């Protein structure tokens, strides 16, 4: 075990589980990892022992490699016991990707929030060979870099169907204030927002465990983005509200089991950081807008690194999220240019 102290945050384990292996983080609770083909190259998966079966929390992408790793996990750390239930914290493909496979191939029940299920199933069914016109108009409105725009306009876009298994009808809804029995513990459900709508988190009544998905992560801030599906959305407001509310449940001794990075303690410190980081970003962004700029010109005050093409899309939707928030609280204005791009400027 490692100390890994940083501003009240500690990491009991300094090394994650190897591929196909598991680490016991508490009695009857296993921590596993599946790979992701991106800069954030992993997602954490948890299995809770139900005696004659397992409850699995989140699943990883659907791919041949993921299914092979899961078979190794099922035969090894999970000791051949069936997965009777899959709990999905939110609808993003690295979390829901194999939920339908567990339902169809393994007979597992799917438990998740209504919004997570609706979004995941809708997006899984919405396969596109090229971006829709609404998406291209949205990119224009953001002031997307022209070279990246032309490339994206002619390529197959990101499709849930490429990495999320078909999802059969039927799920059990999780909602705020539910108490769910998993792994010999009763867990209070508290719903987060901002990173994903109606994101479920689980807080053990019987010990110090918290299953936080991507709502509470150490060392990185969850992406908060606005998309063509709801271009006027204000997920930053949703995120700040959720962080303030969830902070009231945070205790120093809780072991936070998140969707990425390492399990950690020091939740009160981390919740303050997550809130303060976005307030700081909003202040820097306002200062950046003394002269009018597009969303694509707002990366410098928000990100502490150079944004390459691989990260450009996530950076663009996060910049728009912060601009929408400042606009909706009356701090900045927006005007559409002749080329269809919005320019944003501080109200003085």
Q: pLDDT at residue 3 above 70?
A: no
**Structure confidence at residue 304 (pLDDT):** 78
- Where does residue 261 fall: left (phi above 0), alpha (psi -120 to 50 degrees), or beta otherwise? left
pLDDT (tens digit, 9 = 90+) per residue, 129-166? 999 999 999 999 999 999 999 999 999 999 999 999 99
Q: In the predicted model, what is the mean pLDDT of residues 94-99?
A: 98
> Residues 48-71: what's their mean pLDDT?
98
With cut-offs at 50, 70 and 90, classify the pLDDT of residue 7: low
Q: What is the mean pLDDT of residues 29-51?
A: 96
For the cut 50, the answer to whether the pLDDT of residue 1 exceeds it is no
Distances (CA, A) of 9 to 131, 231, 340: 42, 36, 45
Which tens digits make up the pLDDT trace of 185-230?
Answer: 999 999 999 999 999 999 999 999 999 999 999 999 999 999 999 9
Query: For the CA atoms of the chain, what is the radius of gyration?
Result: 21
Q: pLDDT band for position 272 (50/70/90)?
A: very high
Q: What's the fold here for domain 23-129+157-287?
A: Metallo-beta-lactamase; Chain A (3.60.15)
111 and 174 Cβ atoms separated by less than 8 Å: yes
What is 241-297 written as a DSSP string?
HHHHHHHTT--TT-EEEESSS--BB-HHHHHHHHHHHHHHHHHHHHHHTTS-B-GGG
Domain spans in the chain, listed from the N-terminal domain onward:
23-129+157-287
Query: Where residue 39 falls among pLDDT bands split at 50, 70, 90?
Result: confident
Task: State yes or no: pLDDT of 2 exceeds 70.
Answer: no
Distance of alpha carbon 10 from alpha carbon 32, whole angstroms = 19
pLDDT-derived band of residue 5, with 50, 70 and 90 as boundaries? very low
DSSP secondary structure letters along 10-79: B-S-SSPPPTT--EEEETTEEEEEEE-SSSS-EEEEEEEE-SSSEEEE-----SHHHHHHHHHHHHTTTT
> Distance between CA atoms of 339 and 257, rounded to whole angstroms?
46
* Average pLDDT of the residues in 309-336: 97
Instruction: Please tell me the pTM assigned to this model.
Output: 0.95
């Amino acid at each position: 075990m490692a100390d890994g102290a940083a501003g009240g945050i500690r990491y009991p384990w300094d090394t994650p589980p190897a591929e196909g292996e598991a680490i016991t983080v508490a009695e009857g609770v296993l921590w596993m990892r599946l790979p992701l083909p991106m800069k954030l190259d992993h997602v954490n998966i948890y299995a809770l022992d139900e005696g004659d079966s397992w409850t699995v929390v989140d699943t990883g992408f659907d791919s041949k490699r993921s299914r092979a790793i899961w078979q190794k996990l099922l035969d090894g750390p999970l000791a051949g016991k069936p997965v009777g239930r899959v709990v999905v914290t939110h609808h993003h493909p690295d979390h829901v990707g194999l939920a339908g496979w567990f339902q169809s191939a393994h007979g597992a029940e799917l438990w998740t929030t209504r919004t997570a299920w609706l979004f995941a199933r809708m997006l899984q069914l919405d396969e596109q060979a090229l971006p829709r016109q609404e998406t291209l108009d949205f990119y224009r409105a953001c002031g997307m870099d022209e070279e990246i725009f032309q490339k994206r306009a002619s390529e197959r876009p990101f499709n849930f169907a490429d990495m999320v298994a078909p999802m059969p009808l039927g799920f059990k809804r999780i909602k705020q204030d539910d108490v769910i029995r998993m792994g010999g513990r009763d867990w209070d459900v508290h719903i987060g927002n901002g990173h994903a709508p109606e994101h479920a988190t689980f807080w053990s009544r019987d010990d110090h465990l918290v299953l936080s998905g991507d709502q509470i992560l150490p060392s990185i801030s969850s992406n908060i983005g606005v998309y063509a599906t709801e271009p006027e959305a204000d997920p930053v407001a949703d995120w700040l509200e959720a962080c303030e509310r969830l902070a009231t449940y945070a205790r120093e001794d809780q072991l936070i089991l998140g969707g990425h990075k390492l399990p950690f303690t020091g939740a009160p410190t981390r919740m303050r950081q997550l809130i303060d980081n976005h307030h700081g970003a909003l202040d820097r962004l306002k200062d950046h807008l003394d002269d009018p700029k597009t969303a694509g010109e707002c990366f410098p005050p928000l990100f502490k690194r150079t944004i390459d093409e691989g990260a450009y899309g996530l950076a663009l939707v996060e910049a728009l999220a912060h601009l929408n928030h400042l606009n909706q609280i009356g701090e900045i204005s927006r005007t559409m240019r002749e080329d269809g791009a919005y320019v944003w400027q501080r109200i003085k």
